[in-house]
Structure 1
Amino acid sequence: MRSFPYPLAGSPDLRSPARYLLWLGARQKATLAAGIALGSVWMASQAVMPFVLGRAIDDGVIGQDSRALLAWTLALLGLMVVQAASDTATHRAGVSSWMQAAFSSVRLVGHKISRTGDALPTALSTGEVVSTAASDAFRLGEVYEVLTRLAGAAAAWVVVTVLIWQTSPVLGVVVLIGVPVSCALLLFVVRPMQARQREQREAAGKMTAVGADTVAGLRVLRGIGGEHIFVDRYRTKSTATRDSGIRVARSLADLEASQVFIAGTFSVVFTWVGASLVLEGAIAPGELVALYGFSIFLVTPIRAAADSVARFIRAHVGARKIIAVLEVDANVSESATPVPAPRAGSVLVDERSGVVVEPGLLTAVVSREPADSTEVLTRLGRFDDGPGAPTVRWGSADLRRVPLADIRARIVVSEAAPQLFSGPLRRQLDPHGRHDDAAVLAALEAASALDILDGLEGGLAHEVTERGRGFSGGQRQRLVLARAYLTEAETLVLVEPTSAVDAHTEQRIAARLAGVRARDGLTTVIVTASPLMLRTMDRVVFLEDGRISAQGSHRDLMADSSAYRDVVIRSE
């Protein structure tokens, strides 16, 4: 059993679609070389058969030499065996090259998705990324499979030219010049197809994006009766994709008709010249039979060239889309001058807002504008290293210079809309498998989520569906909160952790929070405006215009800050 894809060494060449295709090809030189060699043997063995047949007629039948006839017949049988074996091997090598290139591209896209965070969905739609991995990568891989047949066709053209030249230099010149000219004529048909395929690919990406958005929000859309609006949008995009696909099909039909016409015209001209030579007595009858076989065979290189050009165009379009994904840079990157992570219990300070996260405390961040709180947690978790990003101090270290692995291990941010993936519930809650069932159940208890487990037939072994669609919004939020507790992060940042639950459940979560985190001396930062959560906090920070305007306990701020009171009352 072979493993796909092979390990990739080095970074892909993203300077152009052609360079990316060359880079992929260089990763599998041995397989491509084998496919090209086998393809050349396969096509050359086909090319030689008319010549052997003609010699069998001239030497064996007309010359009445039974020994020569037997020898040429055995030669034909041998060519048939070689052709069958090399055809099978060529196909296997070509498909292997196809799969290697396709799966390597899919893996590169997958790695990019997992490492760029918010940068990729900001630059490209979800549908565009899905189409790139599901469609473009496999269209791109076709070019390596067709390359084996194209190389074989080129080798066969050379062999046929040499054989025909021995019979008639005139016909040799016709083949030597006529086949490349016939292939070049197809370019006039191919050029419009490239633009139409690019248009069709863009339309397909937009259609997939609308479909993904509709499926993701289907429950909400049905709740407000708005699904028909998105269905109409999808129908419009689908119609545009269909129309662009029809235009591509027209180009393909034109290409197919053109290659039949051009190849047929060349075959007629070649046969006419050969017949004229027979009438002049310049060639023997067996050579005429061979020439007729050559005229039929020479259609193959022309058709192979046309098919290759069409696939090269699709691969070029696909490579451009893959490069668009791979060129998206993550919002964060490792510092060129890293510094060690500070010791445990170090203070986090966001210099722009003035927020100070003291170790071991429950700290809440409240802001008049929710975007201000989001920006603070983005900086505290180091999710943006963009130009001009303000400094965050972790102890005495600049957070941007601390290795990302240390930050992600010790500072965990649980967002307002976190994701659940498909798989056993236990693995969703404890991905690294570091806790026993008792610890997992304790985290579920702290997140007031044990009732969810009671309703599942398989308990912790329950298979979660994609995105956790089998759970309600409040259930997903509580399960994700339990997962956040199980990280046992030194600093845990929770963004609106109770926005989707009822007041009684929120009260239980708030009451148990200190017992889960503060008991072990762990630091917790919560972005919320819920009074049920705020009254349990050790310290509350209130932001206006992105900077601290007041801080203290919830009770003190409610008494002393009218702006804070307005925000909390509005939330309540």
Structure 2
Amino acid sequence: MRSFPYKSAGKPDLRSPSRYLLWLAGAQRGTLLLGILYGSIWTVCQALTPYILGQAIDQGILPGNFGRLSFWVGLLVGLTIIQSISATLRHRAAMSNWMQAAFRSAQIVGHKVTRSGDALPQKFSTGEVVSTCASDAMRIGEIFDVAARLAGSVVGYLLVSYLVFQSSWQLGLVVLVGVPLCGAGMLFVIRPLQRRQKDQREAAGKMTALGADTVAGLRVLRGIGGEHIFVQRYRERSRETQLAGNKVAWSLADLDAAQVFVVGIFSVAFTWIGAIQAVTGQIEAGQLVALYGYAVFLVSPIRTAADAVSRLIRAQVGARRIIDVLATPSAVHDAETTVPAPAAPSALLDSVSGVVVAPGGMSAIVSEDPAAAAELARRLGRFEDAVLREAVVQWGSEALHLMPLREVRSRIVVSDAEPQLFTGTLREELDPDGRHSDTEIMAAIEVASAQDVFDGLEQGLDAEVTEKGRSFSGGQRQRLALARAVLTEAEVLVLIEPTSAVDAHTEQRIAGALGKSRGSAAHTTLVVTASPLLLGAMDTVAFLKHGKLQAQGTHRHLLDTVPEYRKVVVRGEGMNGHGHTEAAVAANANHSTATEGEK
């Protein structure tokens, strides 16, 4: 039993599909060599069987020598046992090679997805990336499955050629030249197959991408009554994939027919020449029987070679798709020379906006343009190194994008406005690393005011969360994501619109609990929001206009002194996102002032 994931085999060779396949072969060369060894033993046993039968006839049956007959029969029995054992071991090695190549490819694609930031979603749809693991990786594995049989077939073909030469040099030449010619003759069928398999892969990728996108937006589609449009589109894509698959099937049928035709002609010609030589006395009766056996055996190398070429084409197509994914430049990566991250909590300075996030306490960002605030959060979270090279963010005294990525990710956590939930138990969802006790998890749930979500689950923390948390409402997903963010205990926690989908009473509870949970000198919390209820709980608020720092202070101070800030917070029409009136905003500001006085 093998353990997963595999150890890293180094950086994959992405220069071409062939080089990538060779890199995979090198990563599993031990199992691959074992498969070739077992496959060679297996085919050698098959190739020697006709020879032993011929010798038993010529040296045992025809002269009536029981001793020699017993010797050759005993040798044949032993050969059969060895063949059975080697066939089992070859099959096990072949399956292992298949799974290793497929799983290793899927593994490195998975690693690429987790480390590429936004680079992959901008270039590929979710469905296309999924197809590389679900389809292309398995296609790659097929060539490693057939590799052991192909190597054994080559060894068996050379051995049979030698044995036939011992009986007749004319027949030896027929084998030595005829088998490669038969394989070359099928290239005329294989070339169209390669093109059609590429078309079928592209059609299948588009269909998978459309299906994934449709499922992801199914709730919205049903809400606006547009699911029938996407169903029709999926049917059209499915039909295109079916037609492309039919063309591939036609080529495969042509290939099978060509194999039967070419192999049949070769077998008839080989057997006919052997029969003539037996009649004229050039070869013995036992040698003629052996030639019949060789003719049957040589069918296997020809068919295996054709099968290997067909699988190699599919593997090349799959490898090309995987290379496209792996070759996509990551949005973030460790620099060749890194600088150390600050040892103690330090300020974050964004050179574009001029915002300084002081260590410790609760801060907020309000922007006239919400996109500018979100971009600021992304810069502080180091989502794209290319952006940070031009718009430098400093953490302490050094540039953020030059620091070790692992340390940045462990100390600065950004919770997006549209958080993702994954399949698994609620405990695994909130605490993926298993570092916290149930008591600590429940405390985070309390901070996120998600107790009602927990109470609605019969199995509590052991309840299964469906993919993307579709069994929860938008507000429930948002609160669970907030609890997960709190449990990271990050030194710097950036929350983007963490309460946009909850009601005012819940938001008020979250604002108070979040301040108590994160209100220490060791924890820095930055909230991107325009909600008065959250802003009233902040120690300081920075207001951006046209992406630049316009003003900074407490929520009440900005309400009183910055008209643009007041307009953004009140939404310009007397209502904010949760339905609070302008009077309510002012009342909340008064409440926050009173609270500060009590402190």
Report the TM-score range of the alignment, normalised by the length of the smaller protein. Answer: over 0.9
Letter in 2 for 1:161: S
Aligned equivalents of 2:396 and 2:144: distance in 1?
Answer: 54
Deviations 1:139-184 (A, max 9, x none): 2112122111111111111111111111111111111100011111
Q: Please name the residue that 1:363 is paired with.
A: 363
* 8 Å contact from structure 1 (residues 5, 99) kept in 2: no
Letter in 1 for 2:115: R
Q: Please name the residue that 1:472 is paired with.
A: 473
* 8 Å contact from structure 2 (residues 359, 521) kept in 1: no
SS at structure 1 position matched to 2:551: strand
Q: For residues 49-198 of structure 1, what are the structure 2 equivalents within 5 Å?
A: 49-198=49-198
SS at structure 1 position matched to 2:365: strand
SS at structure 2 position matched to 1:337: coil
Q: Please name the residue that 2:282 is paired with.
A: 282
Change (3 A) 1:29 1:435: closer
Report the Cα offset of residue 306 of structure 1. Answer: 0.4
* 8 Å contact from structure 2 (residues 105, 133) kept in 1: yes
Report the Cα offset of residue 343 of structure 1. Answer: 4.3
Q: Please name the residue that 2:584 is paired with.
A: none
Aligned equivalents of 2:258 and 2:79: distance in 1?
Answer: 32
Q: Please name the residue that 1:429 is paired with.
A: 430
SS at structure 1 position matched to 2:288: helix
Aligned equivalents of 1:224 and 1:480: distance in 2?
Answer: 27
* 8 Å contact from structure 1 (residues 131, 205) kept in 2: yes
Aligned equivalents of 2:491 and 2:317: distance in 1?
Answer: 47
Aligned equivalents of 1:161 and 1:275: distance in 2?
Answer: 18
Letter in 2 for 1:475: Q
Q: Please name the residue that 1:545 is paired with.
A: 546
Letter in 2 for 1:529: A
Q: Please name the residue that 2:315 is paired with.
A: 315
Q: Please name the residue that 1:455 is paired with.
A: 456
Aligned equivalents of 1:476 and 1:529: distance in 2?
Answer: 20
Q: For residues 347-362 of structure 1, what are the structure 2 equivalents within 5 Å?
A: 347-362=347-362
Change (3 A) 1:48 1:505: same
Q: For residues 260-279 of structure 1, what are the structure 2 equivalents within 5 Å?
A: 260-279=260-279
* 8 Å contact from structure 1 (residues 363, 524) kept in 2: yes
Report the Cα offset of residue 317 of structure 1. Answer: 1.2
Report the Cα offset of residue 403 of structure 1. Answer: 2.0
Q: Please name the residue that 2:244 is paired with.
A: 244
Change (3 A) 1:240 1:333: same
Letter in 2 for 1:207: M
Q: Please name the residue that 2:293 is paired with.
A: 293
Q: For residues 6-85 of structure 1, what are the structure 2 equivalents within 5 Å?
A: 6-85=6-85
Aligned equivalents of 1:5 and 1:401: distance in 2?
Answer: 29
Aligned equivalents of 2:43 and 2:380: distance in 1?
Answer: 64
Q: Greater shift after overlay, 494-503 or 44-53?
A: 44-53
Aligned equivalents of 2:223 and 2:360: distance in 1?
Answer: 42
Q: Greater shift after overlay, 217-226 or 303-312?
A: 217-226
* 8 Å contact from structure 2 (residues 340, 404) kept in 1: yes
Q: Please name the residue that 1:529 is paired with.
A: 530
Report the Cα offset of residue 6 of structure 1. Answer: 4.8
Q: Greater shift after overlay, 231-240 or 526-535?
A: 526-535
Deviations 1:30-54 (A, max 9, x none): 2222221221221122112222222
Letter in 2 for 1:486: L
Aligned equivalents of 2:138 and 2:10: distance in 1?
Answer: 22
Aligned equivalents of 2:161 and 2:460: distance in 1?
Answer: 73
Change (3 A) 1:543 1:196: same
* 8 Å contact from structure 1 (residues 49, 76) kept in 2: yes
Report the Cα offset of residue 556 of structure 1. Answer: 4.0
Letter in 2 for 1:101: A
Q: Please name the residue that 2:342 is paired with.
A: 342
Report the Cα offset of residue 261 of structure 1. Answer: 0.5
Letter in 2 for 1:199: D
Q: Please name the residue that 2:518 is paired with.
A: 517
Aligned equivalents of 2:6 and 2:565: distance in 1?
Answer: 58
What are structure 1's unaligned runs of at least 5 residues?
none
Q: Please name the residue that 2:225 is paired with.
A: 225
SS at structure 1 position matched to 2:128: helix
Letter in 2 for 1:216: A
Q: Percent identical across equivalent pairs?
A: 59
Aligned equivalents of 2:262 and 2:176: distance in 1?
Answer: 16
Aligned equivalents of 1:67 and 1:438: distance in 2?
Answer: 83
Report the Cα offset of residue 118 of structure 1. Answer: 2.0
Q: Please name the residue that 1:496 is paired with.
A: 497
Q: Greater shift after overlay, 245-254 or 119-128?
A: 119-128
SS at structure 1 position matched to 2:385: coil
Change (3 A) 1:5 1:260: farther
Deviations 1:68-118 (A, max 9, x none): 322222232222222222211211222222222222212212222222222
Change (3 A) 1:486 1:287: closer
Please tell me whether residue 506 in structure 1 is matched to residue 519 in structure 2: no
Q: Greater shift after overlay, 436-445 or 248-257?
A: 436-445
Report the Cα offset of residue 422 of structure 1. Answer: 2.5
Please tell me whether residue 378 in structure 1 is matched to residue 382 in structure 2: no
Please tell me whether residue 406 in structure 1 is matched to residue 407 in structure 2: yes
Change (3 A) 1:57 1:234: same
Q: Greater shift after overlay, 370-379 or 510-519?
A: 510-519
Q: Greater shift after overlay, 302-311 or 275-284?
A: 275-284
Report the Cα offset of residue 529 of structure 1. Answer: 1.9
Report the Cα offset of residue 236 of structure 1. Answer: 1.4
SS at structure 2 position matched to 1:352: coil
Deviations 1:507-531 (A, max 9, x none): 2222333222225563221111223
Aligned equivalents of 1:5 and 1:528: distance in 2?
Answer: 40
Report the Cα offset of residue 361 of structure 1. Answer: 3.6
Aligned equivalents of 1:239 and 1:493: distance in 2?
Answer: 46
SS at structure 2 position matched to 1:386: helix
Deviations 1:393-445 (A, max 9, x none): 22212212222233223221111111222333233223344443443333222
Q: For residues 391-402 of structure 1, what are the structure 2 equivalents within 5 Å?
A: 391-402=392-403
Q: Greater shift after overlay, 85-94 or 66-75?
A: 66-75
Letter in 1 for 2:8: L
Please tell me whether residue 439 in structure 1 is matched to residue 440 in structure 2: yes
* 8 Å contact from structure 1 (residues 507, 533) kept in 2: yes
Aligned equivalents of 1:515 and 1:82: distance in 2?
Answer: 73
Aligned equivalents of 2:410 and 2:166: distance in 1?
Answer: 75
* 8 Å contact from structure 2 (residues 361, 521) kept in 1: no
Aligned equivalents of 2:56 and 2:463: distance in 1?
Answer: 73
Aligned equivalents of 2:420 and 2:188: distance in 1?
Answer: 50
* 8 Å contact from structure 2 (residues 361, 520) kept in 1: no
Aligned equivalents of 1:383 and 1:177: distance in 2?
Answer: 61
Change (3 A) 1:150 1:533: same
SS at structure 2 position matched to 1:362: strand
Taking only aligned residues, the RMSD between alpha carbons, in angstroms, comes to 2.0
